[in-house]
Amino acid sequence: MKLLLDTHALIWSATAPDQLSDSAAAAIRDPGNDVFVSAVSGWEIAIKRTRGRLRFPDVDRAMLAELRLTELPVTLAHTAEIFVLPDHHRDPFDRMLIAQARTDDLTIVTRDRAFEAYAVATRW
């Protein structure tokens, strides 16, 4: 399975794995799964840190390697998918994660129920 971590799933994987559901934690740990972190999550974390809304280290390659995660860049194909997404909610970070998941056939690891309104697989 190919998984894409929502930003909170990334943060909890690194700092509070007990906050993940048993299903999400098992899927992330499963060596048979490919687990991706979007550049969008790094961007979201950086913005929230600069506004004083989050304390979390930079998302860098060392962190990804330690957690056995693969970086997923944002491509033009991902941005094109934004134009066909229904306007169910306005969080730009979530919308890009959804676009990436739809474009690359990924399952999003999230507890956010707003994702259910989109044609995208989720896991929690």
Domains of the chain are 2-123 (3.40.50.1010)
Say if CB 123 and CB 20 are below 8 A apart.
no
User: What are the E-state strand segments in 6-89?
Assistant: 34-38, 70-72
In whole angstroms, give the CA distance from residue 17 to residue 21: 9
pLDDT digits (tens, 9 = 90+) for 36-92: 999 999 999 999 988 988 887 777 788 888 899 999 999 999 999 999 999 888 899
Structure tokens at 81: 């998918």
In whole angstroms, give the CA distance from residue 107 to residue 121: 5
Q: What percent of the chain has pLDDT over 90?
A: 78
Say if CB 114 and CB 89 are below 8 A apart.
yes
Structure tokens at 7: 């930003």
pLDDT tops 90 at residue 121: yes
